[in-house]
């Protein structure tokens, strides 16, 4: 802390703009160099950008508390352009604020060089904006890959046979993007070791890509449990891979127990088909 007077001025300014004691502590702990920054040249201009764009005082505090490094970013080359991109996508400052509270990555990255071209990559392949917007909200870092990498991920998904018109297409690309090449190969190998053929693996990937981000232990436990019931075989699991995404103890086993009781009372016939229906209603 080079200048105690400057640090005190910064703390006072942030307090005046609604930062609580705990929020100030979080900001300073996350970014200690902030107390050495210029109040007039670095901090005030960034706060003003948010104010001028219509962000509420509470939203500004929450956004900066979650990502204080934004105060060090260039106002003209990073903060303003990023906020403009997000506002064009989400419409209002309040909606943009919701996204920024989940992740400050959008204000750290150069959206015009990452997110914008990546959106075009998906739009050109038939993915609707509604799905794209949901992925921006739910998986903030996904569309921040370089466009070059994103095209590689798309190519890999194409090679696995996922139809671009499928609603699973963007999910498939996201799952592939979350792993290094060597980890992806290990994931495919693990499915093979569990007794699934290459064709089985491709079918499951097309139906439920997120299954490929599930831990190896969980995949093994769910598969073994379903097969042990004597009601299902590999082909059933391949056709309905969603149970891999569900909790074995909290969801699958209780539902299987209920189906067994219903069957014992002759209230249902062959109940194996029902497990897919009730499990997939997540």
| Least confident range of 78-92, 155-169, 262-276 | 262-276
Q: Is residue 51 part of a domain?
A: yes
d(CA 75, CA 80): 6
Closest CA to 15 of 38, 37, 43: 43
The count of C-alpha atoms lying within 13 angstroms of the C-alpha of 72, restricted to the half-sphere facing its C-beta, is 15
Whether residue 45 is predicted with pLDDT greater than 70 in this model: the reply is: yes
Q: Is residue 210 part of a domain?
A: no
pLDDT level of residue 203 (50, 70, 90 thresholds): very high
- The predicted model gives 165-187 an average pLDDT of 95
Closest CA to 125 of 92, 168, 160: 168
Average pLDDT of the chain, as a whole number: 91
- The predicted model gives 242-246 an average pLDDT of 93
Q: Which spans in 91-228 are helix H?
A: 93-102, 105-108, 115-123, 129-138, 147-159, 169-177, 181-193, 198-207, 216-228
Q: Is residue 94 part of a domain?
A: yes
Which 8-state DSSP code applies to residue 127? -
Whether residue 275 is predicted with pLDDT greater than 70 in this model: the reply is: no
Q: Is residue 273 part of a domain?
A: no
Q: Is residue 61 part of a domain?
A: yes
- Burial class for 173, CB neighbours closer than 10 Å (0-12, 13-18, 19+): buried
Q: Is residue 242 part of a domain?
A: no
Higher pLDDT, 281 or 83: 83
CB 32 within 8 A of CB 61: no
How many domains is the chain partitioned into structurally? 1
Q: Under DSSP, is residue 25 helix (H, G, I), strand (E, B) or coil?
A: helix
Tokens 């006072």: give the residue.
Answer: 12
CB 214 within 8 A of CB 245: yes
Q: Which residues contact 146 (CB under 8 A, 6 or more apart)?
A: 114
The H-or-E segment that residue 276 falls in is helix 272-280
Whole-number pLDDT of residue 1: 46
Which 8-state DSSP code applies to residue 35? G
Whether residue 273 is predicted with pLDDT greater than 80 in this model: the reply is: no
Span 180-197, pLDDT tens digits: 999 999 999 999 999 999
Whether residue 120 is predicted with pLDDT greater than 70 in this model: the reply is: yes
Q: In CATH, what number is assigned to the domain containing residue 52?
A: 1.25.70.10
Q: Is residue 74 part of a domain?
A: yes
Task: Give 88-114 as a DSSP string.
Answer: HHH-SHHHHHHHHHH-SHHHHS-TTTT
- The predicted model gives 12-24 an average pLDDT of 93
- Supply the range of the domain harboring residue 17: 1-110
Span 209-243, pLDDT tens digits: 999 999 999 999 999 999 998 888 999 899 999 99
CB 109 within 8 A of CB 117: no
Q: Is residue 57 part of a domain?
A: yes
d(CA 209, CA 175): 7
d(CA 141, CA 155): 19
What is the pTM for the complete model shown?
0.86
Q: Under DSSP, is residue 229 helix (H, G, I), strand (E, B) or coil?
A: coil
pLDDT level of residue 268 (50, 70, 90 thresholds): confident
């Amino acid at each position: 802390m080079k200048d105690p007077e400057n640090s005190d001025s910064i703390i006072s300014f942030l307090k005046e703009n609604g930062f609580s004691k705990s929020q100030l502590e979080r900001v300073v702990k996350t970014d200690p160099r902030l107390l050495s920054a210029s109040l007039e040249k670095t901090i005030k201009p960034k706060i003003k950008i948010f104010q001028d764009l219509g962000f509420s005082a509470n939203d500004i505090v929450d956004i900066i508390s979650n990502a204080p490094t934004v105060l060090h970013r260039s106002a003209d080359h990073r903060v303003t352009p990023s906020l403009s991109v997000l506002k064009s996508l989400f419409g209002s400052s309040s909606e943009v604020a919701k996204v920024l509270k989940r992740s400050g990555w959008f204000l750290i990255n150069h959206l015009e060089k990452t997110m914008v071209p990546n959106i075009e990559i998906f739009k050109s392949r038939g993915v609707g904006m509604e799905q794209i917007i949901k992925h921006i909200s739910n998986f903030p870092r996904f569309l921040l890959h370089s466009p070059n990498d994103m095209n590689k991920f798309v190519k890999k998904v194409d090679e696995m046979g996922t139809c671009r018109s499928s609603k699973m297409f963007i999910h498939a690309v996201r799952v592939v993007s979350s792993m290094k090449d060597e980890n992806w190969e290990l994931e495919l190998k693990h499915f093979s070791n569990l007794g699934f053929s290459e064709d089985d693996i491709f079918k499951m990937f097309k139906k439920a890509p997120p299954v490929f981000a599930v831990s190896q232990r969980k995949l093994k436990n769910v598969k073994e449990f379903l097969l042990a019931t004597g009601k299902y075989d590999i082909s059933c699991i391949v056709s309905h891979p969603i149970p891999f995404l569900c909790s074995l103890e909290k969801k699958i086993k209780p539902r299987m127990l209920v189906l067994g009781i219903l069957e014992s009372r002759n209230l249902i016939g062959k109940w194996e088909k029902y497990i897919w229906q009730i499990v997939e209603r997540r």
